[in-house]
């Protein structure tokens, strides 16, 4: 019987995709996936360290995995991969000697060699080297989880060094893939039935090779059988007019614009090392609304309780929400990260204040969001059906071009027959997080 692997993934889409690369690597070595973690001969924990006590969480989870290893008489290779692996390196072995391998974010291709050495009983294996070509991973070696939606790396790394953020340290400097490789991968997926692709990069729209990000989007828009092209996670500085006009002119490109502001106050933004002031940011929002009109949704990330943030400065974040009118926000309490620039300010905002600010921000957003969602009732949109859950009240759901979740009323039609189709829909109802719609437009 062939050996089995199990991969547990935390964090962002970049990590999800790294897990697909690790899975494919193990499969080329003859391993098979198992859904039963405790049956695994190889257990990889693919970790994230963006916020709060990441390493603690990893060690606590490793305690559970260690138990599984003991239940198998020690016959389980345990590997820690991802951003915590990159950050902690071989130190992981001193706290968790039962871990066999530590594989950083930029050394994915070294997994087979490490596995060989473990097989030969050569002891703990670690590789946190920074292979500048890590982003050029062999496409054929990727084992993708979903057929409908395909993840595609277009760049890796970050050169911005925002003072709160650990990503430049865990993911390295920016590198972009050649445009021809990306287009070839997208075509191959489209031929295999993929309808939606998601372009990935820590600063996805900072993509630059022989062509710009906008040109890459234009080329991908030409691939006939693709329906939707998404991309994550963008940086506000690289949404220029060319990109926004390209999104307007290319019907397959998703129209949700994720524009992470982090704060609405210019002094805090400067301290965060962000490139925009509040005014620059609002100018960008106006440019986007001028070009895309009502056809886009706007989302953002925010951090509350950054060192030195005064009540009045936090209030400017609340008023930014009101001025922009976001369709979603993702908000977090500041958490000091090892090695980052903001550490020099300490962490002076008390936890209780951070907590209170987060509540205020999220409550205000829900009020704004409710109004924005309700304003969509009556709109005619196109929905790509990406989930069928038989037995639920609305078994068919999908997403609009601007990435809102819609539960569909499909009358007498068989739900399964609608999977992976792009359908015209009229919005008939709205909750705070999801829309309802019926098939057909007037």
Cα–Cα distance measured from residue 47 to residue 57, given in angstroms and rounded to the nearest whole number: 9
> From ligand SF4, ligand 5AD, none, which one binds at residue 154 (CB under 5 to 8 Å depending on kind)?
none
- Beta-strand ranges (E) seen in 210-268 are 228-232, 256-258
- For the stretch 60-68, contacts whose Cβ atoms lie closer than 8 Å and that sit 24 or more positions apart, written own/partner, are 61/8, 62/96, 62/98, 62/99, 65/37, 66/96, 66/98, 68/37, 68/38, 68/40, 68/43
> From ligand SF4, ligand 5AD, none, which one binds at residue 98 (CB under 5 to 8 Å depending on kind)?
none
Cα–Cα distance measured from residue 74 to residue 128, given in angstroms and rounded to the nearest whole number: 25
Phi, psi dihedral angles at 83 (to 5 degrees):
-70, -35
Phi, psi dihedral angles at 320 (to 5 degrees):
-65, -40
CB of 112 to ligand SF4, least distance (A): 23
| Angle, CA 38 vertex, CA 34 and CA 41 arms, to 5° | 65
> From ligand 5AD, ligand SF4, none, which one binds at residue 83 (CB under 5 to 8 Å depending on kind)?
ligand SF4
CB of 40 to ligand 5AD, least distance (A): 30
> From ligand 5AD, ligand SF4, none, which one binds at residue 48 (CB under 5 to 8 Å depending on kind)?
ligand SF4
Residue 195 C-alpha from the chain's centroid: 19
* Residue 165 CB contacts under 8 Å (≥ 6 apart), including other chains: 50, 158, 337, 340
CB 227 within 8 A of CB 422: yes
CB of 396 to ligand SF4, least distance (A): 31
CB of 119 to ligand SF4, least distance (A): 28
Which residue has tokens 């630059």? 208
What is the three-class DSSP state of 385? strand
Q: Which is nearer to ligand SF4, 13 or 422 (CB)?
A: 13
CB of 107 to ligand 5AD, least distance (A): 23
Q: Which is nearer to ligand 5AD, 164 or 207 (CB)?
A: 164
Task: For the beta carbon of residue 308, count every other beta carbon within 10 angstroms.
Answer: 14
Q: Which is nearer to ligand SF4, 156 or 313 (CB)?
A: 156
CB of 207 to ligand 5AD, least distance (A): 18
Footprint of ligand SF4 (CB under 6 A): 11-12, 14-15, 48-50, 82-83, 167, 170-171
> From ligand 5AD, ligand SF4, none, which one binds at residue 334 (CB under 5 to 8 Å depending on kind)?
ligand 5AD
Footprint of ligand 5AD (CB under 6 A): 50-51, 164-165, 260, 262, 301, 303, 332, 334-335, 337
CB of 171 to ligand 5AD, least distance (A): 12
CB of 54 to ligand 5AD, least distance (A): 10
Residue 400 C-alpha from the chain's centroid: 18
> From ligand 5AD, ligand SF4, none, which one binds at residue 5 (CB under 5 to 8 Å depending on kind)?
none
Q: Which is nearer to ligand 5AD, 239 or 334 (CB)?
A: 334
Q: Which is nearer to ligand 5AD, 160 or 428 (CB)?
A: 160
Please give the C-alpha separations between residue 127 and each of 28, 198, 269, 310, in angstroms, as whole numbers. 20, 28, 35, 43
Instruction: Please give the full DSSP string across 40-70, using - where no structure is assigned.
Output: -SEEEEEE--SSSSHHHHHHHHHHHHHHHHH
CB of 170 to ligand SF4, least distance (A): 5
Which residue has tokens 């719609």? 437
> From ligand 5AD, ligand SF4, none, which one binds at residue 170 (CB under 5 to 8 Å depending on kind)?
ligand SF4
> From ligand SF4, ligand 5AD, none, which one binds at residue 51 (CB under 5 to 8 Å depending on kind)?
ligand 5AD
Residue 425 C-alpha from the chain's centroid: 27
> From ligand SF4, ligand 5AD, none, which one binds at residue 14 (CB under 5 to 8 Å depending on kind)?
ligand SF4
Q: Which is nearer to ligand 5AD, 331 or 400 (CB)?
A: 331
């Amino acid at each position: 019987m062939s050996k089995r692997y199990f991969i547990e993934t935390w964090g962002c889409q970049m990590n999800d995709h790294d897990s697909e690369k690790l899975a494919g690597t193990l499969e080329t070595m003859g391993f098979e996936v198992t859904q039963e973690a405790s049956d695994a001969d190889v257990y990889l924990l693919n970790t994230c360290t963006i916020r709060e006590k990441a390493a603690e969480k990893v060690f606590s989870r490793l305690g559970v995995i260690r138990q599984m290893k003991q239940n198998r008489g020690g016959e389980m290779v345990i590997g820690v991969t991802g951003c915590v692996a990159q950050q902690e390196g071989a130190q992981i072995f001193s706290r968790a000697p039962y871990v066999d391998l530590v594989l950083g974010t930029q050394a994915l291709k070294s997994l087979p060699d490490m596995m060989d050495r473990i097989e030969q009983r050569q002891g703990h294996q670690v590789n946190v080297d920074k292979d500048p070509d890590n982003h050029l991973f062999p496409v054929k070696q990727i084992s993708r989880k979903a057929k409908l939606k395909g993840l595609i790396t277009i760049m890796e790394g970050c050169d911005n060094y925002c003072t709160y953020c650990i990503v430049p340290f865990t993911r390295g400097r920016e590198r972009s893939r050649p445009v021809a490789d990306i287009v070839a991968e997208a075509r191959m997926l489209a031929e295999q039935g993929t309808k939606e692709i998601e372009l990935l990069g820590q600063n996805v729209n900072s993509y630059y090779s022989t062509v710009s990000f906008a040109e890459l989007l234009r080329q991908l828009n030409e691939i006939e059988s693709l329906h939707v092209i998404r991309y994550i996670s963008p940086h506000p500085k690289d949404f220029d007019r060319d990109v926004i006009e390209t999104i307007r002119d290319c019907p397959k490109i998703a129209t949700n614009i994720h524009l992470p502001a982090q704060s609405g106050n210019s002094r805090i933004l400067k301290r965060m090392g962000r490139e925009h002031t509040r005014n620059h940011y609002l100018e960008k929002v106006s440019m986007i609304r001028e070009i895309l009109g009502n056809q886009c949704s706007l989302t953002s990330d925010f951090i509350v309780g950054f060192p030195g943030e005064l009540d009045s400065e936090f209030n400017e974040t609340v008023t930014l929400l009101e001025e922009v009118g976001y369709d979603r926000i993702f908000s977090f309490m500041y958490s000091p990260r090892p090695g980052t620039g903001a550490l020099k300010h300490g962490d002076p905002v008390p936890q209780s204040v951070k907590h209170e600010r987060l509540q205020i921000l999220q409550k205000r957003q829900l009020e704004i969001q409710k109004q924005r969602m309700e304003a969509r009732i009556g709109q005619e949109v196109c929905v790509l059906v990406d989930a069928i859950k038989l037995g639920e009240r609305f078994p068919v759901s999908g997403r609009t071009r601007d990435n809102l979740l819609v539960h569909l009323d499909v009358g007498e039609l068989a739900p399964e027959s609608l999977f992976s189709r792009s359908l015209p829909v009229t919005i008939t109802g709205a909750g705070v997080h999801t829309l309802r719609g019926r098939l057909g437009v007037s």
